[in-house]
Amino acid sequence: MKFKQLTWKQLRELRKKQWKKQQMICPILQQKIKFEDSVFDHKHRKKTTSIGYQGAGLLRGVLHSQANVFEGKAYKLYKRYGLHKFIDFPTLLINTAKYIMNPPMKPEYIYPSEREKPKKLGKREYNKLKKYYFKVYPRRKKIPKFPKSGILTKEFEKMLKDLDKYLKENK
C-alpha cells in the first residue's frame, strides 16, 4: 500500500477536516472538543520498524490533546512493565475497565495502609490545653505530661472535649 506523506501545513488542514468528520468529538472522551484543543494521534514507530507495519507511523484520528497524552503514557507503561508479553494493549484496557466497573470481591475489607490512623495530640493542642487546664479542671494539681508518641489516649481525648466545651461556654 502506498502511504501519503504530509507537510505540516497539510497536516493542519487534514486535522481540521478530520475533526469535522468526527463531528468535533474526541473518540476517547466521547465529548465535543475545541479545534484548538485537538491533536492528531498516530502510532509511534521504532526506527527499525517500517512505516505502516501494524499501523506504525500512521494517523489514527483526532483526539483531545490531554486524552492523547494519557493514551501515550498508558501505552508506554504497558510496554515498560512487560504486559505486552501477555496481552495486547486494547484488550488490556477493556479488561481493566471491566475489572474496575465490576470487581470480583464484595467491598468489605480495608487494605492495611488505608485504615484510619489513630488521632495524635499535637504540641499546639497540648499547649492550648495547658493554658486552660486549671480553668477546665480546677480541682487538679498537676498537668499530665505530653505523650511522646503523640497518640491520643482516652484521657487526653476527654480533656480536649472538655476544653472545647469550656471554650464554647466562655466565648
List, for the chain, all residue ranges whose pLDDT scores fall below the cut of 50. Answer: none
Surface-to-core class of residue 68, CB atoms within 10 Å of its CB (0-12 exposed, 13-18 middle, 19+ buried): buried
Say how far apart CA 122 and CA 78 lie, in whole Å: 44
Give the model's pLDDT for residue 56: 81
Q: What is the pLDDT of residues 55-80, one digit of tens each?
A: 888 999 999 999 999 999 999 999 99
Give the model's pLDDT for residue 160: 81
User: Domain locations in the chain?
Assistant: 8-101, 123-169
Give the model's pLDDT for residue 155: 81
* Secondary structure of 34-67 as H, E, C letters: CHHHEEEEECCCCCCCCCCHHHCCCEEEEEEHHH
Say how far apart CA 73 and CA 93 lie, in whole Å: 13
pTM: 0.65
Q: Which residues contact 82 (CB under 8 A, 6 or more apart)?
A: none
CATH classification code of 8-101: 3.40.1800.10
